[in-house]
Amino acid sequence: MSTYIYQPRDRVSFAEGVQFLQQQGRTVIPQPVNITAGSVVDRIRELGRASGMDFQDFEIELSAFRSYCAAAGYSDRYAEYYPDNQHEKALEHFIALSLLKLQREDVFIDIASEHSPVAEIYGRLTGADTYSQDIMYAAGIDGQRIGGDACAMPIPDGFASAASLTCSLEHFEEDADVGLFVELARILRPGGSVCVVPFYVNVEHVVQTDPAVGVPANVIFDAGAPVYCAEGWGNRHGRFYSPRTFVDRIVKRVDSCVRFSFFHVRNAPDVHSSVYVRFAFLATRL
Q: What is the CATH number of the domain that holds 198?
A: 3.40.50.150
Residue 11 lies in a domain: no
pLDDT over 80 at 165, yes or no: yes
Whole-model pTM: value is 0.97
pLDDT of res. 3 = 67
Domain count, the chain: 1
* Per-position b or e across 33-52, b if 16+ CB within 10 A of its CB: bebeeeeebeebbebbeebe
pLDDT over 50 at 1, yes or no: no
Residue 265 lies in a domain: yes
Whether the CA torsion 122, 127, 132, 138 is positive or negative: it is positive
Q: What is the mean pLDDT of residues 202-225?
A: 97
pLDDT over 50 at 160, yes or no: yes
Residue 21 lies in a domain: no
| Packing angle, helices 118-126 and 86-100, rounded to 10 | 50
Residue 69 lies in a domain: yes
Q: What is the mean pLDDT of residues 184-203?
A: 98
Residue 47 lies in a domain: yes
Average pLDDT in the chain:
97
Residue 26 lies in a domain: no
Q: Which domain holds residue 153?
A: 31-205+241-285
Going by pLDDT thresholds of 50, 70 and 90, the confidence category of residue 7 is confident
Q: What is the mean pLDDT of residues 238-261?
A: 98
pLDDT of res. 9 = 80
